[in-house]
């Protein structure tokens, strides 16, 4: 068992950390306070290979590993947690389109996504179907050489800025086997958007997408009409570990900053780092964050080797956000009244990380998956 990165992975991590510190950190509060996120920033990120990480080389991508995706997530989150959502969504779209799209769709969308010219959202959740995703009611009905899409998708990352969305819709019978996936351009007639007023992750313009009889070419079908739910779950299996590392990156940066603060801040005639009530707290959170990091990379390593990793992904997704929220909250308290002020980044990081305690499955769903994978499906409360 090797716990070390390769030389190329280490160099990649160093380059991502430099970019996060030199470029992303200073602008992090801007998007939270209403500044529009410019597309040239996305093209800049694309120039680092981030948005094409899981795109084949023939379409302008980097064909990177899942561990490389985790490295990018962790390091970029140190500068701007929200930028990691571009990484997550492009990895998912890159895998699904590369594996299931027609050649025409691949040629049109993959190079544009890899270059940062186009954003592709992921549309599974609905107002009445979140944790129970197989209960979705959006429909895609075949009509000649097209599908007609009707329904609403909720809590969609990049709803306000995406150019297309992978829409999971009911195409046949009941349950998961009746769900397929279509790539739906969001400038088509019949598409409307509604943005939410989220507590965090404001850069991503989370919101709803409504499809009112949207006509989509049949060539935009991604795989068979019965394969959509399988595609979605396969994406979750590794993205949950990516999410864990996004959270870990934000928490580790917060802890690093708090360590330096504790060396400088004096009370009762000595640095607060000498008070065990401070140093022991930091020691505990450093340990838990390190454990979450290792679990997430273990999951991504299994994915790269083609081995089962559903349980490990759920473990990482439950543990990573949980310990990160707790660590960042502690950093706020340890900074006293200053930690509660927007002049420091902790409160924004806390609001942002809480969002991914929910996204891609709540803590309760993660525990249900871990239990199912441990005891067997015959003992599962949710089939």
Please write the tens of the pLDDT for every residue from 193-230: 999 999 999 999 999 999 999 999 999 999 999 999 99
Q: Is the pTM of this model over 0.75?
A: yes
Q: Supply the pLDDT for residue 382.
A: 65
What CATH number does residue 343 fall under?
Answer: 1.20.140.10
Considering the domain architecture, whether residues 252 and 338 belong to the same structural domain is answered as yes
Considering the domain architecture, whether residues 235 and 220 belong to the same structural domain is answered as no
315 CB-near residues (< 8 Å, 6+ apart): 295, 299, 366, 370
Sorting pLDDT into bands at 50, 70 and 90, what band is 287? very high
Higher-scoring residue by pLDDT: 298, 3: 298
Name the phi and psi angles at 85, rounded to 5. -65, -30
Considering the domain architecture, whether residues 364 and 236 belong to the same structural domain is answered as yes
Considering the domain architecture, whether residues 208 and 279 belong to the same structural domain is answered as no
Considering the domain architecture, whether residues 343 and 234 belong to the same structural domain is answered as yes
Sorting pLDDT into bands at 50, 70 and 90, what band is 131? confident
In a domain, 255, yes or no: yes
Considering the domain architecture, whether residues 208 and 126 belong to the same structural domain is answered as yes
CA-to-CA distance for 183 and 97, rounded, in angstroms?
9
Considering the domain architecture, whether residues 137 and 210 belong to the same structural domain is answered as yes
Considering the domain architecture, whether residues 175 and 292 belong to the same structural domain is answered as no
Considering the domain architecture, whether residues 89 and 68 belong to the same structural domain is answered as yes
Residue 249 burial by CB count (10 A; 0-12/13-18/19+): exposed, middle or buried? buried
Domain range spanning residue 248?
229-379
Mean pLDDT of 129-142: 87
Above 90 in pLDDT, residue 176? Answer: no
Above 90 in pLDDT, residue 65? Answer: yes
Mean pLDDT of 356-361: 92
Sorting pLDDT into bands at 50, 70 and 90, what band is 378? confident
Sorting pLDDT into bands at 50, 70 and 90, what band is 3? confident
Mean pLDDT across the chain: 95
Above 90 in pLDDT, residue 348? Answer: yes
Q: Supply the pLDDT for residue 129.
A: 81
Considering the domain architecture, whether residues 243 and 356 belong to the same structural domain is answered as yes
The number of beta carbons lying within 10 Å of the beta carbon of residue 163 is 16
Mean pLDDT of 164-170: 97
**How many domains in the chain?**
3
């Amino acid at each position: 068992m090797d716990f070390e990165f390769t030389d190329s992975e280490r160099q990649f991590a160093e380059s991502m950390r430099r970019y996060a510190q030199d470029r992303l950190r200073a602008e992090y509060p801007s998007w939270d306070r209403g500044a529009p996120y410019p597309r040239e920033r996305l093209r800049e990120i694309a120039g680092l290979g981030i948005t094409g990480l899981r795109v084949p080389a023939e379409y302008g991508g980097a064909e990177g590993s899942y561990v490389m995706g985790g490295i990018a997530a962790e390091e970029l989150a140190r500068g701007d947690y929200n930028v990691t959502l571009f990484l997550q969504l492009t990895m998912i779209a890159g895998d699904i389109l590369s594996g299931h799209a027609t050649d025409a769709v691949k040629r049109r969308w993959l190079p544009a996504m890899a270059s940062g010219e186009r954003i592709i959202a992921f549309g599974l959740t609905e107002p009445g179907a979140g944790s129970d995703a197989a209960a979705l009611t959006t429909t895609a009905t075949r009509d000649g050489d097209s599908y007609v899409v009707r329904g609403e998708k909720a809590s969609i990352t990049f709803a306000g800025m995406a150019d297309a969305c992978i829409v999971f819709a009911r195409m046949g019978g009941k349950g998961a086997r009746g769900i397929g996936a279509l790539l739906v351009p969001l400038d088509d007639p019949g598409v409307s958007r509604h943005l939410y007023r989220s507590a965090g992750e404001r850069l991503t313009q989370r919101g709803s997408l409504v499809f009112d009889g949207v006509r989509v070419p049949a060539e935009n079908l991604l795989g068979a009409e019965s394969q959509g739910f399988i595609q979605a779950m396969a994406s979750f299996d590794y993205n949950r570990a990516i999410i864990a590392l996004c959270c870990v990156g934000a928490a580790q940066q917060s802890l690093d900053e708090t360590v330096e603060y504790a060396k400088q801040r004096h009370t009762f005639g000595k640095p607060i780092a000498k008070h065990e009530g401070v140093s022991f707290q930091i020691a505990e959170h450093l340990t838990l964050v390190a454990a979450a990091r290792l679990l997430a990379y273990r999951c991504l390593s299994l994915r790269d080797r083609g081995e089962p990793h559903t349980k490990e992904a759920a473990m990482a997704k439950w543990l990573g956000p949980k310990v990160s929220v707790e660590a960042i909250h502690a950093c706020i308290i340890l900074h006293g009244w200053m930690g509660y002020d927007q002049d420091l980044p902790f409160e924004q990081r806390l609001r942002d990380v809480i969002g991914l305690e929910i996204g891609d499955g709540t803590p309760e769903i993660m525990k249900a998956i871990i239990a199912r994978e441990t005891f067997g499906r015959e003992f599962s409360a949710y089939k």
